[in-house]
Structures are given as C-alpha cells and as structure tokens.
Amino acid sequence: MASDKRTKNHIHFLLVLGDDFARMKEDEEFYHRWTANEEMCEMVHAVLRRVHESVKEDDLIPERDIIREFKRHADEIMRKKVNEEIVRSWLDVSKVLGRNATGQWGRARSANIRPRGMKDLAFLVLRRNGSPMHFSEVAAAISEFFAREAHPATVHNELIKDKRFILVGRGLYALEGWGYRPGIVREVIKDILKSEKALSREEIIERVLKERYVKENTILVNLQNGKYFKKNSFGKYVLV
C-alpha cells in the first residue's frame, strides 16, 4: 500500500495496535500475514492448499493459468469472485509456491523456481520461448531475465553436456521434451526408417525437417551414404 519507508512504518504501527487486525504466524505452508477477517483468511488457506495439491514438482505454469486455477477453487470454497490483484497478493502468502524471474509459477523449492546453475537458467529460457534458440540467444536471455552474466561459450558448453537439450541445427538447441530426437542427421534418418520401414525421398525430407533445422541438400547427401541407406524395388529408401 505504500512505497516509502515512513508510510510503511505508519501502516505497521496501525496494524499492531488496531483491534481490527490479526497477525497470523508463519508456518510450513504460509508466510506471516495480516487479516481483518479470520474466517475469510481460513478460506484463502483452503483455496491455496487446493492449488498446492494441483501443482506438481516439475510444473512450470504461466501466471494467468495459476490465477485461473486459484479462481476455480475460490468459486467452490469462497463462493465469490475475486480480482487478479487480490489473487496475486494471496499467492504471495504461499511458501509452497513461488514465481521465477520469467514470471512463471511452480513449486518454490524446485529448480524451475530456484535454478541451481547456468543449465537450469538455460532450460527456463528455452521453455519460456517455446521454440529452438541459438546458444548466443539463450545467453542473452539469461542476462536479461536473471541479471546474471552469461557468456555464450559457457552456455554452449552447458547445453552440450545436458541431455535435456537437443542440437537441432547449427548452434540451435531445443528441449528434449518437445519431441526432437538426439543425434546427427544420419541418425535421425535411421530412426525414422526404423519405425516407417520405407519412405520416399520427399517423405524423408519432410520428416527430418520437423526434427532438424538443416538444408535439404544436407539430408540428400546423407541419403547417398550406401553404408546405411539404399532404395528398394519401389524406389523408396530403406535401411541397409
């Protein structure tokens, strides 16, 4: 309610002395908080506990979605509509949930909210972006969102070492959870043919381009490798 320290002290003074206000002690679930309506306070606790149960350890949730989840349970328990600013204030009471520097919510103790190193920061940046990024872009985004000095070479090394990241083009990385296959273009073609048995040149190009940001010629050059691929009697490519 106040931006300057003097006014904050005045408000605190009134909270402490005012008979209308009650201070709830900090516990395992919630930070200490003030209320003028203890019955309403218990209902807020009940709603927050429902939200706690719905958020899994690895979840990373946009703020609009966590607010929507809170409102859904508030409709059932509190039987009233609440605006987003009030919901944000109530979410800040929770010790179980937390928000990271990109504005997304999750379990307060998870690496998604409390990243433990450059690789976790890179993961959060890529997950927020939702599509592949060049390692230099990842480094720039880490510096922007987390105010951490991130050298492109250092970030690149972390991306190479961590199995959560898949190289999909020259310096371009995606998240493994997005469905990309690890390995060089030849390995991607081999995996595709293992499941599909036989495909035309055009079908292979189409499938590989969904997995890798490469030129068509790169795919065609790999198909000419007679050690791994050959054409069958129908003119389609199969594994040797």
The model's pTM is 0.69
Could you say which of 107, 136, 155 is where a domain stops?
107
93 and 9, same structural domain? yes
| Count of alpha carbons within 13 angstroms of residue 226, beta-carbon side | 0
In a domain, 91, yes or no: yes
* Spatial CB neighbours of 90, under 8 Å, sequence gap ≥ 6: 44, 47, 48, 70
Residues spanned by the domain of 136: 118-163
Instruction: Say whether both 127 and 52 belong to one domain.
Output: no
Q: Note whether 59 and 148 are same-domain residues.
A: no
Q: Which residues of the chain have pLDDT under 70?
A: none
Q: Are residues 30 and 59 in the same domain?
A: yes
Same domain for 62 and 143, yes or no, is no
Residue 86 resides in a domain: yes
35 in a structural domain:
yes
In the sheet that holds 104-107, the strands lie side by side as 61-62, 104-107, 97-99
pLDDT at residue number 116: 87
For residue 130, tell me if it sits in a domain: yes
Residues 90, 28, single domain; the answer is yes
The whole-number pLDDT of residue 169 equals 87
The number of distinct structural domains making up the chain is: 3
Which residue is associated with the tokens 């079908």? 203
Kindly state whether residues 75 and 158 are assigned to the same domain: no
Q: Are residues 13 and 40 in the same domain?
A: yes
